[in-house]
Copies of this chain bind each other. A is one copy, B any other.
Amino acid sequence: MGFGYRTMSNARTTGESVGKVVTQSARIELPAEGFVFEGGGVLSELEIAYETHGELTPARDNVVFVCHALTGDSHVAGYHTDPETDTGWWEEMIGPGKGIDTRYYYVVCANILGGCKGTTGPGSIDPGTGRPYGARFPEMSVGDIVEAHCLLLKHLGIDRLACIIGGSFGGMQVLEWAIRHPKMAARCVCIASAHSLSAQALAFDSVARNVITSDPNWNNGDYYDGDFGPLKGLAQARQIGHITYLSQGMMAEKFGRERLPDAVSESAGPADSGLPSPFQVSRYLDYQGQKFTQRFDANSYLRIMHAMDNFDLAEKAGSLEGAFAGIEAKMLIVALSTDWLFPPEQSKEIANALLRAGKAVSYSMLSAPHGHDAFLVDIDHLVEMMQAFLPWVPERVEGETSDPEPGDQTVRGAGKDEERQLLLSMISPGARILDVGCGDGELLASLASERDVKGVGVDYDTNQVISVLDRGYDIFQEDVDGGLAMIPDDSYDYAILSETLQVVRRPRVVLKEMLRVAQEGIVSFPNFGRFSRALTLLRSGRMPVGGSLPFEWYDTPNIHLFTLRDFVTLCRHDGIDVLDMACISRGFVGRLLVKLGFCNLGADRVLVKVARADGAAKGRGRGCRSCTDLGGA
């Protein structure tokens, strides 16, 4: 593993545009029975609109398929006619030097089945009648959409994908795809999505549907002959949707309570009996609604919304875990902090179920102010994350090297080599490891190279998460204090808590959680019992500062101070076996004390290997390697 992309790309450019692109159209060759929908409906003809970016390798092994969201289309990057105004909807993500780097990857994006941007949908001509399908277009599922995508790829001669990626409704397609065709994609990225819509999202969709079908021009979906469809209803449905895509904070920042100029707000006329809203936000919504009706078809909207509402992986398979049972791809689930339409909890449920199903999964929650739409807007971290998650193809980059920068070894602080060696000696080769508070993954990398372990990390910091992904390891972006909750029992052989226990709010709970998710734990911590600390306290009357406790009392992250003996006592009290122990000392006296067996007095830092007491017979209560005083404490 260890792609080193990130190390290489510290001076990441913002990337360039893929330039001018043309939407292509494929007439899909169908079997005799036509395209049969999950619900039983049939299409005898299927046309799919798509765009591609980058170059396909001769081995056809560099394809990234992008699944678009509810009202998106195939125009994902580049421009059609004007680089200023008609760029693709994920222009920031796709291009040379961008998140999905078109120097290495061949990107395919297709308008979904049932859409209205070139792929066969309700507005297309039904060859059986010579008239638009309208409301007679078959009822459609997310599975149907995915199958249509697969037919396009077959048409293009592509049978495997480096990655499938999608946000929102696109993320649902990604999950469905990973389940239906487990061997097809090596990696999947599901952003700001859900395994099923929440009750609140269903509620908004329900009102949107009511609004469209109450429009006097709805005409049961047969409106293609007239001049107008249900434009007002469609515009209002879009307005409802649009509000749910933005965070409250962004709406406040963008519009606040700004009023329209008097001239504009009065243009509706003083006689407007409905008391029009005098606020900018209202005008913005009116504009968004109207603009939407120029590019979207109400029948498509209703059908795609219906597919989204009915998407429910757990219902279909009996459980979410069951739904994911066959998945083979490496999964990355990304949530957005201020998304209230597809809230982070839903992404976490996906990641949790994938873990329970024993799959390779990473979870990240990006701090993103723009709400659900953030996957299109708050793009920087997402771009870096994609660069890290997609395997780098070094031979395609001239003059660049994937060797990690020197200095990586010191990330966890100088003088930790002794601790690392001790830790390595406590771990069996080939084990499954959870590194809680893993930082940039340097320890995971060194464990992998020296002990051939399969490591997974937990860390809260986004930059660390990106680093760990870049090294090729799975990671859960979580606060250690509550973060192990998402991990199933007995998922790992060892959990490592390196210099972390003293900074958590509830050390006892974390310790317990650690031994729930792993059979054994290895904990390293600063020993407050070191003789010099008590002496400092007595002599100077001040809290000791130095060694493994370098902070002043008022800004220390070490909020739970304890001694080696305290730790051992708690272990005994909580039914935790101490399997092994190693002390790291400093200075002549410290070293001497440890040598003489006075570990608690001598050790600056301690490494303890623990196990649930039910793990019996493994050497319960084994003392320190250097001494025996604690074994019998």
Residues of A that sit less than 8 Å from B by CB: 134-135, 139, 196-200, 202-207, 209-216, 218, 220-222, 232-233, 236, 239-240, 243, 246, 248, 251-252, 254-257, 273-279, 281-282, 285-286, 302-303, 305-306, 309-310, 312, 315, 340, 343, 505-508, 528-529, 531, 533-535, 537-538, 540-543, 552-556, 559-566, 569-570, 600-601
Contact = CB atoms under 8 A, between A and B. Distances in A.
B206 A277 contact: yes
Contacts of A198: 248, 251-252
Contact of A275 (B246, B279, B306): B306
- Quick one: copies of this chain in the complex? 2
A207 B541 contact: no
B340 A248 contact: yes
A243 B275 contact: no
Contact of A281 (B199, B216, B246): B199
Given A139-B275, A541-B564, 9 more contacts: A196-B257, A199-B248, A200-B243, A218-B274, A257-B315, A505-B559, A534-B538, A537-B563, A543-B562
A566 B538 contact: no
Given A257-B199, A309-B277, A537-B537, A543 B531 contact: no
B207 A243 contact: yes
B560 A199 contact: no
State the 6 A-B residue pairs at the shortest beta-carbon distance, nearest first: A135-B273, A213-B274, A559-B559, A206-B282, A199-B251, A541-B600
Nearest to A140: B275
Which of A248, A529, A555 counts the most chain B CB atoms within 10 A?
Answer: A248
A161 to B, nearest CB: 30
A408 to B, nearest CB: 32
A555 B512 CA distance: 13
Contacts of A139: 275
Contacts of A543: 528, 561-563, 566
A54 B285 CA distance: 48
B275 A303 contact: yes
B538 A565 contact: no
B282 A203 contact: yes
A273 B62 CA distance: 42
A218 B543 CA distance: 75
A62 to B, nearest CB: 38
Contact of A274 (B209, B216, B277, B278): B209
29 contacts: A135-B274, A196-B257, A198-B252, A199-B255, A200-B246, A200-B252, A206-B277, A206-B286, A207-B243, A209-B277, A211-B236, A214-B233, A221-B274, A240-B240, A278-B310, A279-B309, A506-B555, A507-B553, A507-B554, A508-B554, A529-B542, A535-B538, A541-B564, A541-B565, A542-B563, A543-B562, A552-B570, A553-B561, A556-B560
A572 to B, nearest CB: 13
B275 A302 contact: yes
A564 B236 CA distance: 65
A543 B569 CA distance: 11
Contacts of A531: 538
A186 B279 CA distance: 36
B540 A565 contact: yes
Interface centre among A215, A563, A564 (most CB of B within 10 A): A563
Given A274-B212, A554-B560, A570-B554, A257 B312 contact: yes
Given A312-B257, A534-B538, A563-B541, A220 B273 contact: yes
Given A310-B278, A543-B566, A600-B541, A203 B243 contact: yes
A275 B134 CA distance: 12
Given A240-B207, A529-B542, A563-B542, A279 B202 contact: yes
Nearest to A504: B554
Contacts of A528: 537, 543
B213 A257 contact: no
A181 B503 CA distance: 53
Nearest to A196: B257
Contacts of A239: 203, 206-207, 210
B553 A565 contact: no
Contacts of A538: 531, 534-535, 538, 601
A423 B257 CA distance: 48
Contacts of A286: 206, 210
B199 A275 contact: no
Nearest to A556: B560
A566 to B, nearest CB: 5
Q: Which of A206, A215, A507 has the most CB of B within 10 A?
A: A206
Contacts of A232: 210, 214
A278 B278 CA distance: 37
Given A306-B275, A529-B537, A543-B566, A285 B203 contact: yes
A205 B281 CA distance: 10
A176 to B, nearest CB: 17
A210 B236 contact: yes
Contacts of A214: 215, 232-233, 236
A162 to B, nearest CB: 34
